[in-house]
Amino acid sequence: MSLIQIADRSTGDVVDAELVADVSLDELVRTEVQFREFRKKRIAEAIAKGHALPASSEWDRGLKGSDDSGSYRYFGIRHQGKIQGLMMLDCEPQPSRRPGHDKQRLLYVEFIETAPWNQSPFPRISRHYGGVGTGLLRTAIKESMEAGCEGRIGLHSLLEAEGFYRPSFQDLGFDPAEDLRYFEMNEEQAQRLLRGETR
């Protein structure tokens, strides 16, 4: 079993969680149901309290349809019997979009989300664990290294998450094809994130 550290917001302690390298389809379905049911309850509360809703509350992309290429892997962080965050990683190296670096290869993070009970736009009492998203990014970096991409990764960000990515990634601007901004992390940025220098 691989372990990954996350923060328990109720105590301030760092706790060990399980890194699930290949989340099963059954667990993906169960997790998506848990996320959806939690959102239904908390969205009503958030509206009543005037909180902004996270874009993921209308962005159920957990399963992303079928994967015919076989290049995708699902990673999860599990603690206390629940998945605290999910990531879908395309393990087929792709060219960098950074100007002048198109011969470099990276791995693309197709989907990443922390559980809704860990997301800040919901009422703060619901934020159980921190560091889940960073833990998944570090996992993507390590997979990139194993694929010969030296830790380079890329992703598209929801509007509300752009501030989370900017300290660690290069913002390459708005991608009209996805209607989202595109971010890339180079090998130096990857090493800094692994060392915990930007989070």
What CATH code is carried by the domain that includes residue 114? Answer: 3.40.630.30
> Which of the four pLDDT bands, split at 50, 70 and 90, describes residue 191?
very high
State residue 40's pLDDT score: 84
Exposed e or buried b for every residue in 157-189, given b needs 16+ CB within 10 A? bbeebeebbeebbbeeeeeeeeebbbbbbbbeb
Q: What is the pLDDT of residues 134-172, one digit of tens each?
A: 999 999 999 999 999 999 999 999 998 999 999 999 999
State residue 125's pLDDT score: 52
> Which of the four pLDDT bands, split at 50, 70 and 90, describes residue 193?
very high
DSSP 3-state of 181 = strand
Q: What is the pLDDT of residues 66-101, one digit of tens each?
A: 455 579 999 999 999 999 999 999 999 999 999 999
Q: Give the Cα separation of 163 and 191 in Å (integer).
A: 20
Instruction: Give the tokens for residue 188.
Output: 């130096």
Better-scored residue on pLDDT, 187 or 58: 187
Q: Are 155 and 109 in contact (CB under 8 A)?
A: yes
**Looking at this protein, which amino acid is placed at residue 85?**
G
What number of helices (H) and strands (E) belong to the chain?
4, 9
> In this model, does residue 15 exceed pLDDT 70?
yes
State residue 70's pLDDT score: 77
Question: Can you tell me the mean pLDDT for 63-67?
Answer: 48
The count of structural domains within the chain is 1
DSSP 3-state of 108 = strand
Q: What is the pLDDT of residues 21-53, one digit of tens each?
A: 999 989 998 998 999 898 888 778 777 877 666
**Looking at this protein, which amino acid is placed at residue 50?**
G
Residues linked to residue 111 through DSSP beta bridges, in sequence order: 88
> Which of the four pLDDT bands, split at 50, 70 and 90, describes residue 65?
very low
State residue 52's pLDDT score: 64
Q: Give the Cα separation of 53 and 121 in Å (integer).
A: 6
Query: Domain of 176?
Result: 2-195
